[in-house]
Amino acid sequence: MEMHAVSPETEALVDEVLRYARERMLFTAVPLDRPMPVAELERLAGASVRREGLGARRALGVFEHVLAPACLSTDHPGYLSFIPSAPTKAALAFDLVVSASAIYGGSWMEGAGAVYAENEVLRWLADEFGLPRTAGGVFVQGGTIGNLSALVTARDEARRRAHAQGRPSPERWAVVCSAEAHSSIASAAAVMDVDVVAARVDDQGRLTGDAVAEALAGREASVFAIVATAGTTNFGIVDDIATIAEVADAAGIWLHVDGAYGLAAMLAPSTRHLFAGVERADSLIVDPHKWLFAPFDACALLYRRPATALAAHTQKAEYLDTLTESADWNPSDLGIQLTRRARGLPLWFSLAVHGTDHYRLAIEDAVTKARLLAAEIDRRPGLSLVREPDLSVVVFRRDGWSQSDYESWSDALLDQQKAFVVPSSCAGEPVLRIAIISPLTTIELLWEILDSLS
């Protein structure tokens, strides 16, 4: 066989990029960094895309010295806003392998080995959540696409069922969720041109079966899905999934559980009980890039009956019969995507390396730190909790502070490169919100942040 020679330039380019990636992955102190105004970036980075290439060294230099420092490191232990990320080194390193391997993850024919490994992870998750052996799914880009894919499947199923029962489809389809549901539900509804019925929450901020029943009254025939949130992004509130499942079941309506952030906490012993009822979901999502220590971007989307998703999403309808009957598993047919990266592989590798017990411990660790932080806030004069944390999000206030006080404090914290904590709001009141994911976020750092508030 004739060897295909690689030029010295190509070899040097690969070495340079791997050198940078290696250094970044092995940093013991990740720089937090900060965003930069566009004028500043124009001045520092200039234009890199020109008729003549810059060459590997200069192009990488622009990234390393200008562009990368203008991006927040979401894996910094002091990145505590939104939902932080904390990929394991195993998952990060393996992401490079996924890139290097040019795997097409859309079909069994092209990516059998990768799809097999991804399915092993999905199987593990499905078992943890109590779904039947016949459940299955796909890793899609993120929770937003996961929710949209699941809701499209739910509506397709509702249409099919109405048709089979000789009922006309309603003029407008609707989805029921709580007012605390993630914005991606409203976004999916807008894409699908369906209505959102916001059900009331109880005094704990949770959606319950009673509230869903109220919201359904008189419109059962037009509601194609009920969405329960397993850990709201703002507070980490877990809806009362068991009673919601009762109502969904009785009405014959699809139950989707949005657990993009929180459902990972079902793996932790002390929070597992909060998720009772998840096993009755028709579909659910959890984002490995949030609390399962995988790099961006991946959402695990699971269906109780994957055939419903095949029916809704398979792009080449003429193949539908063979696909649904064959043992081959084509991930592209289960969500909104065709070409796909085998984005579940970094999580697969990390799970295979470390074992699932470590994941439980790491998730429990964040829950414990959130509880300790809440207790400390309670103890300190001048600070008060807005709500006891259920998962790993702590929301609190500094008595007497206005929005601008919070903002200047937050700016100073970032200026010192200590932490990234942006003000949030709760019922119109400015508050602070700390979300803990990384095992590297120390109690000392959390206490220092509280100290800086006095």
The whole-angstrom separation of Cα 384 and Cα 386 is: 6
State the CB neighbour count (10 A cutoff) for residue 307: 15
Given 108, 261, 275, 406, the residue binding ligand PLP (CB under 6 A) = 261
Query: Angle CA(361)–CA(259)–CA(378) in degrees, nearest 5?
Result: 60
Q: Which residues inside 164-193 make contact with ligand PLP, applying CB under 6 A?
A: 182, 184
Q: Measured from the CB atom, is 228 or 449 closer to ligand PLP?
A: 228
Site pattern 137..156 for ligand PLP (x: CB under 6 A): -----xxx--x---------
Q: Measured from the CB atom, is 230 or 312 closer to ligand PLP?
A: 230
Torsion angle, alpha carbons of 186, 192, 194, 200, to 10: -20
The whole-angstrom separation of Cα 281 and Cα 242 is: 10
Closest approach of ligand PLP to the CB of residue 26, in Å? 27
Q: Which residues inside 225-244 make contact with ligand PLP, applying CB under 6 A?
A: 229, 233
Q: Measured from the CB atom, is 258 or 333 closer to ligand PLP?
A: 258
Closest approach of ligand PLP to the CB of residue 109, in Å? 28
Closest approach of ligand PLP to the CB of residue 144, in Å? 3
Residue located via tokens 């998703």: 309
Is residue 211 near ligand PLP by the rule CB under 6 A?
no
Q: Measured from the CB atom, is 151 or 431 closer to ligand PLP?
A: 151
Q: Measured from the CB atom, is 284 or 323 closer to ligand PLP?
A: 284
Closest approach of ligand PLP to the CB of residue 382, in Å? 30
Is residue 206 near ligand PLP by the rule CB under 6 A?
no
Closest approach of ligand PLP to the CB of residue 150, in Å? 11
Q: What share of the chain is helix, strand, coil (3-state, %, to 5)?
A: 50, 15, 35
Please give the distance of CA 86 from its chain centroid, rounded to a whole number: 12
Buried b (16+ CB within 10 A) or exposed e, 105-127: bbbbeebeebbebbbebbbbbbe
Closest approach of ligand PLP to the CB of residue 345, in Å? 18
Closest approach of ligand PLP to the CB of residue 185, in Å? 7
206: left (phi over 0), alpha (psi -120 to 50) or beta: beta
Q: Are 340 and 106 in contact (CB under 8 A)?
A: yes
Strands (E), 18-78: none
Closest approach of ligand PLP to the CB of residue 271, in Å? 15
Q: Specify the DSSP class assigned to residue 307.
A: H
The whole-angstrom separation of Cα 435 and Cα 348 is: 25
By CB under 6 A, which span of 68-76, 242-250, 253-261, 425-433 interacts with ligand PLP? 253-261
The CB-side HSE value for 303 (13 A sphere, CA atoms) comes to 27
174: left (phi over 0), alpha (psi -120 to 50) or beta: beta
Q: Which residues inside 105-134 make contact with ligand PLP, applying CB under 6 A?
A: none
Q: Measured from the CB atom, is 178 or 243 closer to ligand PLP?
A: 178
Q: Measured from the CB atom, is 6 or 71 closer to ligand PLP?
A: 71
**Residue 182, C-beta contacts closer than 8 angstroms, at least 6 positions apart:** 143, 147, 229, 232, 233, 258, 260
Residue located via tokens 């709201």: 232
Q: Measured from the CB atom, is 182 or 313 closer to ligand PLP?
A: 182
**Mind spelling out the 3-state secondary structure of 341-364?**
CCCCHHHHHHHHHHCHHHHHHHHH
Give the number of residues in contact with ligand PLP, rule: CB under 6 A.
14
Is residue 205 near ligand PLP by the rule CB under 6 A?
no
**Cβ-closest position to ligand PLP:** 143
Given 128, 287, 333, 390, the residue binding ligand PLP (CB under 6 A) = 287
The whole-angstrom separation of Cα 434 and Cα 265 is: 17
Q: Measured from the CB atom, is 216 or 237 closer to ligand PLP?
A: 237
Given 157, 180, 240, 258, the residue binding ligand PLP (CB under 6 A) = 258
Q: Measured from the CB atom, is 142 or 389 closer to ligand PLP?
A: 142
Q: Measured from the CB atom, is 299 or 323 closer to ligand PLP?
A: 299
123: left (phi over 0), alpha (psi -120 to 50) or beta: alpha
Closest approach of ligand PLP to the CB of residue 147, in Å? 6
Q: Are 221 and 252 in contact (CB under 8 A)?
A: no
Is residue 299 near ligand PLP by the rule CB under 6 A?
yes
Q: Which residues bind ligand PLP (CB under 6 A)?
A: 83, 142-144, 147, 182, 184, 229, 233, 258, 260-261, 287, 299
